[in-house]
């Protein structure tokens, strides 16, 4: 009897488990959660959920619209129907690009007026993600169509925006209070308009500027930006990006310079203030070989940090460093030896601002005196106003300048009131 009762109990538990497996737990979720799930599905899959039940049909029509024509293509002929039947708001909209689904001829016939009409649809109101671009033949990309004003109507709600193959209006003045990611690729935008655009993004965290041929310099001043990807243009224009100035970016952790697949125009990257960038630059080793000039702000002068940065710029020829404190002893030990090979140092000019002649500063400079084989000059901008010839001679001995690796190297000491040169 006991064994039989146990057997019946197991049977009931098994039957109950099978019954629970057949329950529709998803339908028990609140409408807000279901709507978020539907809005994350590709357009085609999201629309197919309407056949599940009347409730799911209502979900599709009210959930934020995800109309991604770049990674999840659908026939262009059905887009007007989708936009007219959906009540919005918009989650993501991406214009189509040539791929296995869309032929170039089909996209060439997609007029700017049609794209403008899509962007003005109420179904895209309050859009969060926008990827816009005119897809035109490569030979015509030097003079792309203008960016429609309708693409900027989402300025108050968009969080992610990428623009490609289009021309921005001069004097653009738009504020994007929620924008966290911005990408510009193969666009025409003036330097002043680009700076105004960046200034209007107070919470920007990620910036991508690739293959644009309309500005030569970009200045980054942002309290929030964490990641920057840059690449110069075709090299056929003097307005291809030549200088990136990181003036003040306290949160910047990653900087990636991509080489153009065909052209190799040199880009100078000047880092004035980016305290979090130092040890994270190791991720850039393979992509910044064209950088020859670098400026750093290293408050606690550290040989380890600077060498760790230098190995990410193997063709570096000029290094400017501004320091505020004495820093550590900066001894050339095993920890530093593992960072860089002496033969990989191509530095020709070193500038050290706020040099004090302390043990830390001497050890830092002595490394380059004894190891940099092609060094031409070291310039010391002193932290004090008075300097004597005796002090300079004492510094020369501490730096072991007679044993310098580059026999043509010169020392240049500069004080606030005078300049003293040693050609030794």
pLDDT score for 49 = 65
Q: How far apart are CA 415 and CA 384, in angstroms?
A: 6
**Cα dihedral 367/370/373/379 (nearest 10):** 60
Q: Strands, DSSP E only, in 194-248?
A: 206-210, 217-221, 227-231, 243-248
Q: What is the mean pLDDT of each run of 10 residues along the chain (424 residues)?
A: 50 49 59 66 63 61 79 82 83 80 71 89 93 70 83 96 92 94 94 95 96 89 93 65 87 76 60 69 46 74 83 85 76 74 86 91 93 94 84 94 94 69 44
**CB-CB contact of 358 with 327 (8 Å):** no
Q: How far apart are CA 291 and CA 266, in angstroms?
A: 7
Query: Tokens 């064994």 appear where?
Result: 3
pLDDT score for 97 = 77
Q: How far apart are CA 54 and CA 406, in angstroms?
A: 81
φ, ψ for residue 296 (rounded to 5)? -125, 150
Q: Three-state SS for 374?
A: coil
pLDDT score for 311 = 78
**Cα dihedral 75/79/85/86 (nearest 10):** 110
Half-sphere CA count of 328, side-chain side, radius 13 A: 9
φ, ψ for residue 335 (rounded to 5)? -60, -40
């Amino acid at each position: 009897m006991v064994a039989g009762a146990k057997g019946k109990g197991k049977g009931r538990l098994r039957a109950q488990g099978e019954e629970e497996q057949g329950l529709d737990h998803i339908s028990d979720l609140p409408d807000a959660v279901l709507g978020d799930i539907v809005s994350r599905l590709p357009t085609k899959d999201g629309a197919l959920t309407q056949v599940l039940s009347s409730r799911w049909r209502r979900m599709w029509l009210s959930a934020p619209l995800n109309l991604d024509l770049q990674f999840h293509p659908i026939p262009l002929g059905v887009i007007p129907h989708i936009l007219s039947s959906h009540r919005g708001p918009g989650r993501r909209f991406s214009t189509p690009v040539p791929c296995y689904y869309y032929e170039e001829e089909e996209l060439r016939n997609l007029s700017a007026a049609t794209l403008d009409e899509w962007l003005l649809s109420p179904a895209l109101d309050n859009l969060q993600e926008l990827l816009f671009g005119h897809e035109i033949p490569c030979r015509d990309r030097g003079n792309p169509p203008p960016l429609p004003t309708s693409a900027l109507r989402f300025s108050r709600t968009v969080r992610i925006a990428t623009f490609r193959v289009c021309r921005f209006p001069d004097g653009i003045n738009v504020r994007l209070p929620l924008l966290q990611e911005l990408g510009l690729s193969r666009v025409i935008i003036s330097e002043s308009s680009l700076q105004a655009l960046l200034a209007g993004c107070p919470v920007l965290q990620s910036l991508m500027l690739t293959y644009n041929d309309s500005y030569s310099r970009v200045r980054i001043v942002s309290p929030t930006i964490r990641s920057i990807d840059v690449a110069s243009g075709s090299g056929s224009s003097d307005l291809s990006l030549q200088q990136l100035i990181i003036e003040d970016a306290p949160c910047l952790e990653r900087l990636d310079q991509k080489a153009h697949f065909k052209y190799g125009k040199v880009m100078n990257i000047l880092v004035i203030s980016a305290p979090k960038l130092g040890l994270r630059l190791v991720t850039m080793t393979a992509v910044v070989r064209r950088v020859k000039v670098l400026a750093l702000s290293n408050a606690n002068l550290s040989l380890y940090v600077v060498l760790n940065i230098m190995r990410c710029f193997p063709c570096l020829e000029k290094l400017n460093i501004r320091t505020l404190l004495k820093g550590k002893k900066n001894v050339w030990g095993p920890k530093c030896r593992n960072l860089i090979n002496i033969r990989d140092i191509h530095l020709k000019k070193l500038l050290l601002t706020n040099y004090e002649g302390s043990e830390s500063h001497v050890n830092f400079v002595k490394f380059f005196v004894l190891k940099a084989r092609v060094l031409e000059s070291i310039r010391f901008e002193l932290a004090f106003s008075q300097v004597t010839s005796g002090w300079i001679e004492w510094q020369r001995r501490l730096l072991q300048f007679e044993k310098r690796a580059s026999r043509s190297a010169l020392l240049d000491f500069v004080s606030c009131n005078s300049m003293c040169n040693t050609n030794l």
